[in-house]
Amino acid sequence: MDDIHLGVLFFALFILILLSAFFSGSETGLMALNRYRLRHLAEQGHPGAQRAARLLERPDRLIGVILLGRNFTDIVASTLTTLIALKLWGESGIAIAAGVLTLVILIFADVMPKTLAALHPERIALPSAWIYIPLLKLLYPLVWMVNIIVNTVLKGLGVSTEAQASNALTTEELRTVVKEAGAMIPQRHQEMLLNLMDLEKITVEDIMVPRQDVIGIDVDADWEAIITQLSGSQYTRLPLFRENIDHVIGILHMRDVLPVLYRGELDRAALQGIAREPYFIPENTSLNRQLLNFQRNKRRIGFVVDEYGDMQGLITLEDILEEIVGEFTSDPAAQFDEILPQEDGTWLVDGSINIRTLNAALHMTLPTDGPKTLNGLIIEHLEMIPDAGITVLLDRHPVDILLIKENMVKTVRIHPALAGARTDAGNT
């Protein structure tokens, strides 16, 4: 060793520090890789990603070979530093050299490469995988022996070495990923993805048209009135019932009705013969499940019933799609007959409006896990049927009760939100 030129020792030390930096940076880069992006790149045929994915299937082996390489280079670097110190300053220089080497390794072989790898993991990890695959094969016996010892000790401590953390995301974790995607996903697409994930939480009861608002054809009504209603209907599908919606007969599709009507062959019997069999939906069915049911049964409209079979309302495929893509008009409030914007900035609102609809139209955050209508929310909060003239605070919005009819809140005036007001269900 004494015959080795000092320049050779410095060059060897420089190479060892570079190798130590490689092991440190590649370890951080491989562990910091986005597993979902890595899987996507591997499926697209990226060679480096495929090799990195193979390495990460057994992280214990990967960490073993990295630490073997890192410890070996650091030990050899320490030995060379000692030799250099002896050549330059004798035994008194060993302590100085050890301190300098520690600082150099900390900065250039540890902190700097790890920081770079954490900021740009793919640039470091994917090329490194080309080196680790053959290195793992070369050192496999030694890595295997080390892993056997480590796994045995861990099992003795009660730690399972078989179970690995799952990469599957929960719904809430996926929501966070979508929200933090930023410019990678357009805002409109983010909203649609979030709405899609909410379908499992929302039931058909939350968005159905209440039974009292369902528009249909009474087969026993005056025939001229029926013809007028059919001719001027704005809907492509209409419920056919006898006396009231509780006695539904079926669904009329205008595509089937109009040809018979124009040929002058339409009568009550023909009308009932044209009607398609009604489709009933339990009120607690989630929108996600109902969307699949509509597809499976080739239906676009259904009647919502409670546990006793009583009619609660009506829901269409379009209602569910609007929960995903939003309403089909540019002005959120203009599409609802229940909401009338006023010149003073307030809104006249029908008390029977669905709370989810009101939230979407006026960007409110009223609770949806209780009453389904604004009338129900007000009565639940006040614990009584209020008189006209009372004002309540709902989600920071003052709400004036204008009309009470048939024990229901029929009309209210909603004011813009008050700054600094409480955000609970309301205050009188």
What residue spans define the domains of the chain?
6-156, 204-325, 339-414
Residues 253 and 276: their CA atoms lie apart, in Å, by: 8
The CATH number corresponding to 339-414 among 3.30.420.40, 3.30.465.10, 3.75.10.10, 3.40.50.720 equals 3.30.465.10
* Amino acid found at 33: L
CATH 3.10.580.10 is the classification of domain 204-325: yes
- Buried b vs exposed e over 223-257: b needs ≥16 C-beta within 10 Å? eeebeeebeebeeebbbbbeeebeebbbbbbbeeb
pLDDT in tens, 46-92: 888 888 888 888 887 888 888 888 888 989 888 888 888 887 777 77
Same fold, 204-325 and 339-414: no
pLDDT in tens, 323-376: 888 765 544 444 456 788 888 889 999 888 888 888 888 888 888 888 888 888
pLDDT in tens, 84-113: 888 777 777 778 888 888 888 888 888 999
Pairing of strands 209-210, 339-341: unpaired
- Whether pTM exceeds 0.75: no
pLDDT of residue 420: 59
